[in-house]
Each structure stands twice: as C-alpha cells, then as structure tokens.
Structure 1
C-alpha cells in the first residue's frame, strides 16, 4: 500500500506534537501531590469571674484535601492548586458556642452542623520566581493565614515569591479578601480590634505587602517587611534570627520589631504602636530553656489583621495576645524532647507569660496586668500503620485584671488535637 509522503509528514507532526504536549505536562502531573488531612479538635474555655457565658466548649471534625500540581515544562511553567475543606459539628450548644471552630448564628448562637469551601490557585514559575493568583495561605510576620482552629484562615489575591537572588527570598503580594477560620465566605479585610482598641466596622478592599528574608550567613537571617491595609494602617517589620554554638549547646536569638501607624483616611481611628521584642533560647541536648521580653510604646495597641494572631513573641498563647497599649511582657519557656530517653516523637513544653503596665481606662484602668501559664504535650507516632498520627494536648490558665466587658477574659483553657495526613499521591 502506498501512503503519500505528505500524509506521512502530517502524521509525524501529529505524533511529535503529542509527545511535546505529554512532555510539557509531565512536570504538571509527576511533581504534583494529593494529601488528605483529618483534624479532630476539642476546645474548652472555662471562664472565671463575671462573664456573660460560663464557657465556650465545642468539638468538631475537619478534613483538608490539598491537590497541588507541579509546573508544566518550558521557560514559563504553569500549575494549579486546589484546596477543599470540610468541617463537621460533633458537639456544641448555644450556651457554650463561640470557640471559632464552627460558624455561629449571632442571633440564636446555634453552630452549623457542617460547613465547607473550595479554594483554587493558578500559578506560574519563571526560573526561581513563582506567581500565584487565587486562594492564598501566607505565613509572614505582617500577614499570616491562621491555622489555629479546625480549618485554616485563607486570603484571596496575588502573591509573588522569588529566590532568584542568592540568599534572598522576596515576598510581594496584594490581598483583597479574607475567609475567616469559621466562615465559608470571602469578605473585606479588617483590623483586629479586641478590647475595643479601634473603631468597629472598618474594613478595606486592599492589603499590600513586600519584603524578604536575607540569609547573611548560615548563622544569621535578617528580615524586613512593609505592609499597608489601605486607609486603615501601615506597618513595618524588622527582625533577625541568629543561631550560634555556645558551649555544648547552641544559642538562638529571635528579635522582632513592629512599627504600626494609621494610613490614608484612618478609617479605624488612630494607630500608634511600636512593639519590640527579643527571645533568647539555649538548647542543650533534649532541653531548651528560653527567656524573652516584649515592650510596647505609643498611644494604641499593636495593629494586626482580624481573624488571626499577631506574629509577636506571645504568638501561640491561647487566651490573649499580650499587645495591649503600653504593655510590657516577660516570657519564660522550657521544652523537652523525650527522644533522649527512648521515646522519639514525644515532646513537652511549659511557658509563663506576664504582662504589666496595661493601659485600658474603659476596661479597668491603668497599670493593669495579665498572665498565662501554658502546658503542652505532643506525640507523633513514628512507625506502623498509624505512622504520622499526631496527638497534641494543651492547657492554659489565663488571668487578667480587666473588666467583664473585655474580649479576653480570665479562663482555664484546654485544647485537644488529633491530626493525621494521608499522602494519596
């Protein structure tokens, strides 16, 4: 049988195009991943003293499915990330709802039986620079998608991360909406205002940030970021992380400085705060001992985005943020890794924070104080069918001298987490 040479040429071109397309999408599939995280979360706040509600106590089950592609081949690679999240109520009632594990009806105080959301992120890569547009989970000093509840907070916007300059990682982004931890809807971004620190109801259509981390040496990393919540506040962050051998162990120094002030039309009112803190931690074998101090000046509390926590030295505390006006905070911490005694995966932490000189005339006066005693025990199974299953128990005893109208009220708080991530692909 005779086959025209022209047809042979077209067939060859078609085969070549098919191979080219397959090769182009090879990285998209081969470098991708699919994981499912199961998160069981119990949160119990037992309030002390005068309070509208005696407790906030709920139990919920969450699932987080992450489907992340690689990048297509070529000078510019393209990809797609999808994040599906589902939260299910296990236990709640109107007299003890409000833990932010579940969406809450403000009139009836009834928590929803379930809630879900789907986020999509388009991404592109050129050399060592990556651009993503869509659902974002930033983790920077000036903007952090809080993971501290059943489902993580997320933002919507555009985000560029570049590592093209040796030792420097640049971050530039603009976010226009936020999806809170106990919500399924995107909404305008606002300024956190616990204790009535700023004008209620102020929000913005735009949050911009730019900055980076520079690895000066193997021991020292320098950090700087600038951020603006349009017409509400501007913030500059400067920090340094330094780790050096000292004797038989190593010393870590963590310095963080935030300078916040009102921006544009100042729709949330005056913002005037300088938060400076330093934490010194010494690790010797299985033991780590740390001490730190955080000092605030200015006429207002520190500014940070609503729905999360500030990335200051008190980050990780469960019942308060320790960034009230004029506040001075001391921190002492001890960590132990039980791998030293033959139990790998088991760790423990004890921490004490005390804040003083708090200026809250409408919530109790001046020179007020607050304190928190935190304990944590965590275990990650190291082998067998349940390898990777993580159990975490936390307890805090928080006390303050503020009035019952305060957002942060004296309480004993317990959190229990059971997390497991299954790598499907």
Structure 2
C-alpha cells in the first residue's frame, strides 16, 4: 500500500497517537470500520469518425474505512484510516479512457493500484480539525469526484464547526490532489476541455472557506470562497427553501458562482458568472425537477481538474455543460417504488439541453448546442443472503454540433455498478 502524506502531517499523527495512549477509552469504544466492495463496468461508444470507437473497461474496487472515536477530556484526539484497492478485470490500450484505472506510458492499464490514507483529527466542543488525507471537503466549487471506481482525495487541513446555533463554519487549506484513478498526489491544474484554459498551469495551494446559516427548517443560506493560488478564485452564493404542503413539498434552490483569475493567472484569463435555479416538487413517490442555468462573462466556468461542481451538469455522464455563454435547461423525473410497495427500487430520467455555446473557431465557433439524455435504475436488496447489495445501471446519449476536434464527442455511455458495504465493527 502506498502512502504519500507529507512529513508535516506525519508529525501531527505521531503527536495525536501519544495523546491516544494516555486516554484511549472513547478512542476505541466509539471506533467503527466498513468495507465496500465495488464492481464497476464502464463503456463509451463514440459516434461518427473517430480514431477510437470505444472506451470500455471493467474493474473491482475495495474501500476500507476505519474511524476511531475521540480520546476522553475536553480536547479529544482520534485517527481515521482509508485503504483503497483497485483491480483490473478487463482493459486494453485501444479501449482506454474511462478513468477507472491508471495507465503506463504505453497506455496499458495497471493490474492493480492501491494506497493508504491517514487522517489525524481533534475535537473541541463542536469543532473538528482534520489533517492528512481528506475525504469530506465537499465545497460546491471543488466537489470530490466519487463517480468512478475509487474516491478522489485531497491532502491538507480541514476545519468544521457547529458551535454557533444555526451556523456551520468550514474551511480547508489543501496542497495536493489525488485523482480518482491515481495513487500519486499532484499539484492543482484547471479542467480545460475545449481549450478553455491552459491545462499545464499548476498551483501549490487551494484555500476554501464556507458559512451556512439555517434559521429554521425551511431556509438555508450559504456563502463559500475558493482560491486556487495563481489560477483563479470563486465566490459562491446559494439560497435554498423547502416548503411543505399537506401531502407534498417544493424545494427551490438558487445559486451564483462568480469567478475571476487570481495572482499571476498562470492558466489564462478567468471571467465568468454562472447562475442557476432548480425546483423540485415531490408528491408520493414522484419527484419532478426543472432547472435553468446561464453562463456569462468571457470564459467558461473554472474548476480544479479531477473535481466536480454542484451545477446542473453534476449528474450527467458525458459533459459538464459549462462552456462559455452556455444556456442550459433541465427536466428530470425520479420515482421511488417504495410508494408502490417495492422499497429499494428507484428510477430516474433526465434531460439537459445547452445552446448559445461559444467555442474557438477551430472547435465550431458560436451558436453551438449540446444535449444529453440520461436514464438510471437502481435497487438495494432488502432481505436474504444478499441484503444491502446495491445495483445501479446508468445510460446516457450525448450529442453536440461541435467540430470533430472538440473534447466532447457524440457518444452513448453505459455504467453498471454493484456495491456492497459491510460494517466490520
């Protein structure tokens, strides 16, 4: 197993281990461990003329999480451990490109890859500090990707606090990212499909701050700031309301991302405002979702390569719908079959259409469009020897009128997951 944590984090771990030995009752009694086995099949079928017609791979992953409790006393110390293992079941250089597995210089997928992450933690009242491998830095402008075989992680320090009534305060200072098909911690770069930014420009530090305010059960207000040094900075504002009717409910959400280049702007100019609104009406087992998203400014929406953003494209398989000037509308339907007496079974249909896209002339120019149709069926077995085994099948059809040299190409995509999580103690 491979551990890439920096020496400074190891010093923190040793210090906390010393404290643990002095008062270990809560540290041990409140500990827990889970093991997730994930079988993942991924297939892309590219349409039209293409040097590669398919990307198809199959892999088995294992995710072991062992979290201690905290030592006794006003300041508690603890330790979290995550072990990740990915095993190749089927792959070939002519079918690579799924991000399930790492590759060598010849394009051959590794037979297996693994790593061990350690996180020291400290608790004072309702404030928790974590240092080392971070898996819970869920900021809307840099959401850790969990859409492949193994989760993506960061390396740094994270603080969260709920000491103030109705407020949640969070912050992170991160110096490296470990992507979802890698075991190496890397510097930060910017996601740059369709030549949006300079993809080779690097940053050594990303800092995030956030505040959430919930005055009551109906309203949530959020503000976040994320700064990737010498690349870009984003301010995020979000307002969420949940209104309960007699037999149904309506969730309304409005978000605004405002991004500009930062410091020496190594990746190029960043000038973007992204506005989106999403409404979810739920009654019985039915959920009806509609949304609209507008990008303004001279560039696309920036994000850290390897992460995801909480925008309308967050559930889609083929595109991020964050191209310059893009206007996107969303229609989505979810049915929970528990309302019909079949608990554990859910179905989802989703459609996104983006237009008014502006790309470089070589990639198609102005007035471009893209669309994606998405279908999902998932089921968690409720009883018997296979209880809690989760099956998930997803399929999408993506089409655009971009030039053939663009990053996003017409494709049909299928993903099949079988997950099983067992609690070890």
Mapped partners of 1:72, 1:136: distance in 2? 21
The yes-or-no answer on 1:375 pairing with 2:367 is no
What is aligned with 1:25?
24
What is aligned with 1:250?
249
The yes-or-no answer on 1:346 pairing with 2:345 is yes
Does the CA-based 8 Å contact 2:142-2:308 persist in structure 1? no
Mapped partners of 1:258, 1:324: distance in 2? 14
Cα offset, 1:298, TM superposition: 0.4
The yes-or-no answer on 1:315 pairing with 2:303 is no
What is aligned with 2:6?
none
Instruction: Specify every segment of 5 or more residues in structure 1 that has no aligned partner in the other structure, as ranges.
Output: 1-19
**RMSD, matched Cα:** 1.3
Instruction: Write the mapping of 1:127-142 to structure 2, written as runs, cut at 5 A.
Output: 127-137=125-135, 138-142=137-141
Indicate which of 116, 120, 123 corresponds to 2:121. Answer: 123
SS in 1 for 2:199: coil
The yes-or-no answer on 1:179 pairing with 2:178 is yes
SS in 1 for 2:24: helix
What is aligned with 1:363?
363
Cα offset, 1:248, TM superposition: 2.9
Mapped partners of 1:21, 1:328: distance in 2? 54
Mapped partners of 2:125, 2:394: distance in 1? 43
Instruction: Write the mapping of 1:378-393 to structure 2, written as runs, cut at 5 A.
Output: 378-393=378-393
Q: Once the two structures are superposed, what CA deviation does each residue of 1:247-305 show, in whole Å capped at 9, x if it has no partner?
A: 53110112121111100000000001100001111001011111100000000000111
Instruction: Write the mapping of 1:186-201 to structure 2, written as runs, cut at 5 A.
Output: 186-201=185-200
Instruction: Specify every segment of 5 or more residues in structure 2 that has no aligned partner in the other structure, as ranges.
Output: 1-18
Cα offset, 1:100, TM superposition: 0.2
Cα offset, 1:352, TM superposition: 0.5
Does the CA-based 8 Å contact 2:30-2:68 persist in structure 1? yes
Mapped partners of 1:34, 1:273: distance in 2? 43
Cα offset, 1:327, TM superposition: 0.1
Mapped partners of 1:409, 1:100: distance in 2? 17
Mapped partners of 1:240, 1:389: distance in 2? 36
What is aligned with 2:206?
207
SS in 2 for 1:314: helix
Instruction: Write the mapping of 1:276-295 to structure 2, written as runs, cut at 5 A.
Output: 276-295=275-294
Cα offset, 1:385, TM superposition: 2.6
What is aligned with 1:10?
none
Does the CA-based 8 Å contact 2:47-2:411 persist in structure 1? yes
Does the CA-based 8 Å contact 1:36-1:63 persist in structure 2? yes
Cα offset, 1:50, TM superposition: 2.4
Mapped partners of 2:54, 2:21: distance in 1? 58
Q: Once the two structures are superposed, what CA deviation does each residue of 1:14-64 show, in whole Å capped at 9, x if it has no partner?
A: xxxxxx988921110111111100000001010111222101110000000
1:281–1:166 CA distance, 2 compared to 1 (3 A): same
What is aligned with 1:12?
none
What is aligned with 1:333?
332
Does the CA-based 8 Å contact 2:332-2:350 persist in structure 1? yes
Give the stretch that moved more between structures: 134-143 or 20-29: 20-29
What is aligned with 2:103?
104
Does the CA-based 8 Å contact 2:35-2:424 persist in structure 1? yes
Mapped partners of 1:311, 1:115: distance in 2? 29
Mapped partners of 2:92, 2:236: distance in 1? 41
Mapped partners of 1:74, 1:272: distance in 2? 49
Aligned length: 405
Does the CA-based 8 Å contact 1:23-1:73 persist in structure 2? no
Mapped partners of 1:78, 1:163: distance in 2? 18
Structure number with greater Rg is 1
Mapped partners of 1:354, 1:230: distance in 2? 33
Mapped partners of 2:407, 2:115: distance in 1? 28
SS in 1 for 2:313: coil
Mapped partners of 1:168, 1:53: distance in 2? 50
Does the CA-based 8 Å contact 1:288-1:335 persist in structure 2? yes
SS in 1 for 2:393: strand
Mapped partners of 2:90, 2:143: distance in 1? 28
Mapped partners of 2:51, 2:354: distance in 1? 24
Does the CA-based 8 Å contact 1:157-1:174 persist in structure 2? yes
Give the stretch that moved more between structures: 190-199 or 239-248: 239-248
Cα offset, 1:143, TM superposition: 2.1
Mapped partners of 1:329, 1:211: distance in 2? 27
Cα offset, 1:388, TM superposition: 1.3
Mapped partners of 1:290, 1:174: distance in 2? 35
Cα offset, 1:189, TM superposition: 1.2
What is aligned with 2:408?
408
SS in 1 for 2:23: helix
